[in-house]
Amino acid sequence: MPSATAGTPDGDAPHQGHGAADTGQPPAEHVHPVLPPTTGKLGQPDQASQSGQGTPGDPSAQTPLAGVDERLGEIIPEGILLRDESGKPIDPRTLMDVPVIIAPIYYSCPTVCNMLQSSLARVLPQMSLQAGKEYRVLSVSFDETDTPQLAARKKQNYFAAMNFSYPEDGWRFLSGDLASINRFMDAIGFRFTRQGRDFIHPVVLVVTAPGGKVVRYLYGQNFMPFDLTMAVTEASHGTIGLSVKRVLSYCFTYDPEGRRYVFDFMRIAGLIILFGAAVLLFVLVRGGPRRKERKGPESPLSPDTPPSGTPPDGTHPDGSPPSDPPKPGAPRA
């Protein structure tokens, strides 16, 4: 078994459909954004956007080309035929007799797909659960040009990188034709778009319970053993989990030069400033009336204020003229 690093597909022969292999030039930079869930066709750009049609402001004309529509609680249907590493047709549902971790990738991806599978190769040997009996991993290619031979080479490389006696049935590498790929990816809510020889796609793991029910989505390409162990343990009971990392992914943006996701300080700082301004405005609006209520009764009448019942002109109630104020220094009567 040849040795290779999990993040570098060394020794892989080129295959049809990818310029880096066909022309000898380095691959174009991939950008793999995690986009909000919307609707759209799988495997191809929106026709309205390609033809220039569509009304401005029409949501259907502005549909992102890739994303995740979470199918929590839904069951992956039977009868979707893919191919395993040996080229034999296989229904993925037959592999879902235990909790399954699905990694939607394509085998010639030079960046985040390799990072995702390298993370799996690092974490899987550290899990306390028994692969093949208590859980299983499926790497499923959404590139219809990927062949079973390429899938077998990738499996060999990642198994060698683990340097661990991992069961062959614990991590399967599947491929298929476009129709089958679209059916499977649609069942898990994974949307992707081919752009020339490359793809725009999200980076996510999908966890299913025994029987194929989708129960959790794990976003990003770096995971801890606890993350996967907890997801598999909950999946074994059919528990549907919250996708917390989907919220956290808003805090990160993809750096194409560094080929990684980085913390977006400016975005978070802007949110903090907006939140602080909203709190300050709320305090000012709510605090004003309360200060007036706590002011209390007015001060007693001043000496110049006429007594109650006295007309404004100073005339006494009996009609007598007002008395002159005493002169300074004169004794009062």
List, for residues 32-83, the tens digit of each pLDDT value.
443 333 333 444 444 433 433 333 334 344 445 788 899 999 999 999 999 9
Give a yes or no: residue 310 inside a domain: no
Q: How far is CA 262 from the centre of its chain?
A: 14
Contact (CB, 8 A) for 159 and 152? no
Whether 65 maps to a domain, the answer reads: yes
Tally the domains of the chain.
Answer: 1
pLDDT-based confidence at 312, cuts 50/70/90? low
Mean of per-residue pLDDT scores for the chain: 73
pTM above 0.85, yes or no: no
225 pLDDT higher than 80: yes
Give phi and psi for 153, each to the nearest 5. -65, -40
| Collapsed DSSP state (helix, strand, coil) of residue 101 | strand
Sequence-distant (6+) residues with CB within 8 A of 310 are 316, 317
Confidence band of 128 (pLDDT split at 50, 70, 90): confident
Whether 312 is covered by a domain: the verdict is no
| Residue 143: inside a domain | yes
Does residue 44 form part of some domain?
Answer: yes
Q: What is the pLDDT of residues 140-195, one digit of tens each?
A: 999 999 999 999 999 999 999 888 888 999 999 999 999 999 999 999 999 998 88
Q: Nearest to residue 213, comparing CAs of 236, 233, 190?
A: 236
Whether residue 71 lies inside any domain: the answer is yes
Q: Which residue has the higher pLDDT, 131 or 38?
A: 131
| Ramachandran region, residue 300 (left: φ > 0; alpha: ψ -120 to 50; beta: rest) | beta
Residue 175 belongs to what domain range? 19-53+60-251
Reduced to 3 states (helix: H, G, I; strand: E, B; else coil), residue 139 is: strand
> 90 in a domain, yes or no?
yes
Tokens of 35: 């986009």
Helices (DSSP H) in the chain: which residue ranges? 19-23, 47-51, 112-123, 148-162, 178-188, 225-236, 244-248, 265-293
Q: How confident is the model at residue 274 (pLDDT cuts 50, 70, 90)?
A: confident
Confidence of residue 241 (pLDDT cuts 50, 70, 90): confident
Q: Return the bridge partners of 173, or none.
A: 139
Neighbours of 89 (CB within 10 A): 10
Residue 101 lies in a domain: yes
CATH number at residue 89: 3.40.30.10
* Strand, helix or coil for residue 141: strand
